[in-house]
Structure 1
Amino acid sequence: MIEVTPQEFDFIRASIKSAYPTFNVMPDQYSIRMWYRMLGDLDYKLCETALMELFATHTYPPQISEIREKCAEYTVPHLKDQGEAWGEVQKAISQYGYYRQEEALESLTPIVREAVKRLGFREICLDENQDAVRAHFFKIYSALAERKSNDAKLPPGILEAKNKYIAQITAQENTAIEQKQQEEAEEDRVCATPEYIDMLMREHGFKR
């Protein structure tokens, strides 16, 4: 994708001002820089088309978020709704069954596959309470779809920074969990020694 050049951004700014002459859009250099920073990664023709649609449907000047959202509508593949996604899962189960998990997962679209992995393919197949399983799947899928939709609207630099922070927090949480597990394992090991058992028996009067 070709990014918007400063000259092309001047045309974008001029078109917004022309479409909404009574509004004070990007009134100073600071706001102009911010708008360019937030829109500069977009393809010019894509941005222009999105603006034309917004001009035709919006009474008020579009905000940065609205422009990016409209551009994302043109470029991001359609995300299935909850019912369509669950139907895809049921089709995979019907076609591949419980024992061909890898093939079933491979047949799913990426976001549906991620939701199924989090819930567990075998659990979906074997759980007798399918209403509860479906409700849980809907919740997981909706969260994944919302995140994917939001990420598609972000400038690449901001998305990269966001993912970096998330990765750091996740790594810290995993380290804390591993440390706690190690401490619990060490505690269990100590409690299982003959010396510790002997001490407990003496404390409770079972042994002198």
Structure 2
Amino acid sequence: MTKQEFATLVVAMQAMYGKDFIGTEQALDVWYALLHDLDYQILSKVLQQYMLTNKFKPTVAELREIYTELVSPTISDWSEGWEQVSKAIGHCGMYQEKAAMESFDEITREVVKRLGFQNICLSENIVADRARFAEIYQAIKKRKRTEVNVESALPNLWEMVQNRLAELAQKGQKAIEQEKDKT
């Protein structure tokens, strides 16, 4: 997204939430650094959706979360993953672990690796296994959502902070030089 496109979105946010929505030029730069990697058209739809469903000002995190939900592949619910495991146990049995693992989606495969496919097959407490599966599945799902959401913004924010620190150092150096010239 270009700065011009971002400015269009800022105008919309200010119209909805007030002129002081973002505030300072530095705040505007931070918002842009955290959102500029997103597609303008999609972010525009996200903002419209947010404005229609929320009374309060959005945060960068809220906008990125909605954006991620729109663009990332659907991550199933833990119960769908558990259903895959149950079917694989019935179809493959404990001795065809490789075939079973290939039938799982990415998150289910990771959970089953942690729990052990044969351990699940031989378990005498399927209720406890299902509960552990759900807990691990939800943690992995949350981590993956965060990775998708944050991954592209972090390098840009780091670069922006480094540039801002360099600017401040230059201003400080100029101020010192001006003080020396006065004396």
TM-score bucket (shorter structure): 0.7 to 0.9
Partner of 2:98: 102
Q: 1:147 aligns with which of 134, 143, 149?
A: 143
Overall identity of the aligned pairs, in %: 35
User: Is 1:79 the counterpart of 2:85 in the alignment?
Assistant: no
Structure 1 position 92, deviation (Å): 1.4
Shift of residue 153 of structure 1? 1.8
Q: Is the 8 A contact 1:38 1:155 kept in 2?
A: no
Flag the structure with larger Rg: 1
- What is the one-letter code of the residue matched to 1:17? Q
Tell me the CA shift for residue 85 of structure 1.
Answer: 1.5
Residue 29 of structure 1 deviates from its aligned partner by 0.8
Tell me what 1:88 maps to.
84
Q: Which residue of 10, 13, 36 corresponds with 1:13?
A: 10
Distance in 2 (alpha carbons) for counterparts of 1:145 and 1:132:
20
State the aligned residue count: 157
> Mean alpha-carbon deviation: is it higher for 70-79 or for 99-108?
70-79
Q: Which amino acid aligns with 2:78?
A: Q
**CA 1:37–1:160 in 2, change beyond 3 Å: closer, same or farther?**
closer
Cα distance, 1:155 vs. partner? 4.2
Q: 1:136 & 1:91 partners in 2: Cα distance?
A: 18
Provide the residue aligned with 2:38 in structure 1.
42
For 1:18, the aligned partner's letter is: A
Aligned residues of 2:34 and 2:153 also touching (Cα < 8 A): no
Letter in 2 for 1:15: A
Where does residue 118 of structure 1 map in the other structure? 114
Which runs of 5 or more structure 2 residues have no equivalent in the other structure? 158-183
What's 2:49 paired with?
Answer: 53
Would the aligned equivalents of 1:41 and 1:155 in 2 still touch at CA under 8 Å? no
> Could you say which residue in structure 1 is the equivalent of 2:167?
none
Aligned to 1:129: 125
Aligned residue number for residue 172 of structure 2: none
Distance in 1 of aligned mates of 2:155 and 2:76: 23
C-alpha distance 6-155 of structure 1, shift in aligned 2 (>3 A): farther
Asked whether the equivalents of residues 26 and 32 of structure 1 are also in contact (C-alpha less than 8 Å), the reply is: yes
What TM-score comes out, normalization by structure 1 length?
Answer: 0.71
Q: Comparing 107-116 with 83-92, which one deviates more in the overlay?
A: 83-92
CA distance in 2, matches of 1:132, 1:69: 31
SS state at 2:23 partner: coil
Query: Where do 5+ consecutive residues of structure 1 fail to align?
Result: 162-208
